[in-house]
Amino acid sequence: MKTNISDAMARSPREIVVGIDDGPAAAAALRWAAEQAKITGTPLRVVHAWQLSSFEQATGSTQYAEAALTDARARATSWVLDALGASASHVRWSLDVVEGGPGPALVERSRHADLLALGTHEHTGFRRILGSVSHYCLSHAVAPVVAVPPPQEAPHKVEAGSGMLSVGPLL
């Protein structure tokens, strides 16, 4: 018997988890997850993982780490409100700011979720060798994972008097 995501959520609404950074793919994933949360009446948990650099960990104090966490929360809250716009008030959402690697943080936070949504990017070169957060989550998450690509760029318009025509990226 086939079930779809909406049917599964209707039986046992818990939460939808979405991972964010400050990129366009994360914004697209957040908007997608917010729409699913609104449709299903499921709470949305927005997860932002952050890490201090090795240098900051070695030289920073507890007060520095607390200030960094406060700053990360404030920036993430502002970003979520900007990304969701007016729809932010139409969905029940909470923000979970986690210190640590994004892949493990998202897998852990989504362990009992109905689904995990995250933005995905095309990785080339060294990034492809190292892997990505979306690949980590797809490989390790217990919940279903929805990988949302960034929005496609619209072709550029010709500016009057520019003398150049640009229709998008050159191949």
For 24-34, the pLDDT digits (tens) are: 999 999 999 99
- Distance from C-alpha of 127 to C-alpha of 104, rounded to nearest angstrom: 18
- Distance from C-alpha of 119 to C-alpha of 45, rounded to nearest angstrom: 15
**Which domains are present in the chain?**
13-148 (3.40.50.620)
Q: Percent of the chain having pLDDT more than 70? A: 75
State the virtual CA torsion across 107, 11, 31, 145 in degrees, nearest 10.
30
For 63-121, the pLDDT digits (tens) are: 888 888 899 999 999 999 999 999 999 999 999 999 999 999 999 999 999 999 999 87
